[in-house]
Amino acid sequence: MSLKLGKLIYTGKAKDVYETENPDRVIVKFRDDITAGDGEKKDILQLKGYYNSLISSKLFEVLEAAGIKTQYIGLLEPGYMLAHKLEMISLEVITRNIAAGSLLRRFPFEERQVFEKPIIQMDYKSDEYKDPMLNDDIAMALGLITAEELNDLREITLKINKTLKDFLETKGIILPDFKIEFGYDCEKNIVLGDEISPDTCRYWDIETWDVLDKDLFRQGDSGVMDAYKKVASMVLDDEDLKKWGLNEI
């Protein structure tokens, strides 16, 4: 696999997507930009894209091994992911195992309340409308998805949650919540896309409950990159490092 970027076809808050010679494949570049609060708070953190691509790649591999279809094909080099081209669905699918973040601002849950069963929340992905939470009827009326696809998506999401939660626990990380996005591949299958990184998940250290994710940036703390680097070193093993030609994280 070689790094030959085609036309830039999409640019988001933290990633760029490039065409490749194969119309069904794209290259996703993980950038160092970080934003919070609908883009109100912005910065550039050296090596963030590098670590996020390594963490995402490992977690996509774990999901693939559990039989979940993902966009991921491989990393061309740290920072650059070769992926199946998807037509993205404008939904942010958030799964919550422990109460944190906006849920506490909106509802009377206790901080760190552990849910008996995971909560799946769907938000409409739209900067213009500020990502409002929606329900099935609104998602269907907007023409984003069908009732059958919503059922499939819920089932896949629960499996993703269990797989990630179990894997991360073995690496010393608690997964309070995370956001994922899906799209259709060229055969119209619903496939997991986007990324699974400390930008899009909450990760807490299982021993200390220290925050190891973007909440550090949201709160204006220093040490954001140290936390991302720590997650990468906890999640990747020696085999992974060797595969990407790295001696250490």
- Interface with ligand UDP, residue 202, by CB under 6 A: yes
- Measured from the CB of residue 52, what is the shortest distance to ligand UDP in angstroms? 12
For 24, list phi and psi in degrees, rounded to 5: -95, 5
Q: Are 152 and 189 in contact (CB under 8 A)?
A: no
The reply on whether position 93 binds ligand UDP by CB under 6 A is no
Task: Provide the minimum distance between the beta carbon of 94 and ligand UDP in the complex, in angstroms, as a whole number.
Answer: 5
Evaluate whether 32 touches 46 at the Cβ level (below 8 Å): yes
Using CB under 6 A as the binding rule, whether residue 205 contacts ligand UDP is answered as: no
Mark out the alpha helices in 82-223 (DSSP H runs).
Answer: 102-106, 136-141, 147-170, 215-218
Binding-site member from 14, 17, 93, 103 for ligand UDP (CB under 6 A): 103
Quick check: 193 and 181 in contact, CB under 8 A?
yes
Three-class SS state of 102: helix
Query: How many other CB atoms are there within 10 angstroms of residue 111's CB atom?
Result: 9
State which of residues 18, 178, 182, 228 lies at the interface with ligand UDP (CB under 6 A): 178
201 binds ligand UDP (CB under 6 A): yes
List 33's β-bridge partners, or say none.
Answer: 44
The label of the residue with tokens 């994922």 reads: 180
Query: Which residue from 15, 84, 214, 230 is in contact with ligand UDP, where contact means CB under 6 A?
Result: 214
Which H or E run contains 121?
strand 114-124
DSSP three-state, residue 37: coil
Of 109-117, 142-150, 156-164, 200-208, the segment contacting ligand UDP by CB under 6 A is 200-208
Measured from the CB atom, the residue of 38 and 77 that comes closer to ligand UDP is 38
The 3-state DSSP class for residue 98 equals: strand
Range in contact with ligand UDP (rule: CB under 6 A) among 80-88, 112-120, 159-167, 171-179: 171-179
Which of 3, 65, 77, 102 binds ligand UDP (CB under 6 A)? It is 102
Residue among 82, 177, 229, 234 that touches ligand UDP (CB under 6 A) = 177
Amino acid identity of 157?
T
Positions in 111-150 near ligand UDP (CB under 6 A) = 131
Residue 3 token pair:
């790094």
Positive/negative CA dihedral, 151, 153, 159, 165? negative
Binding of ligand UDP at residue 85 (CB under 6 A)?
A: no
State the minimum distance, in angstroms, from the CB of residue 167 to ligand UDP: 17
Q: Which residues bind ligand UDP (CB under 6 A)?
A: 92, 94, 100-103, 131, 177-179, 200-202, 214
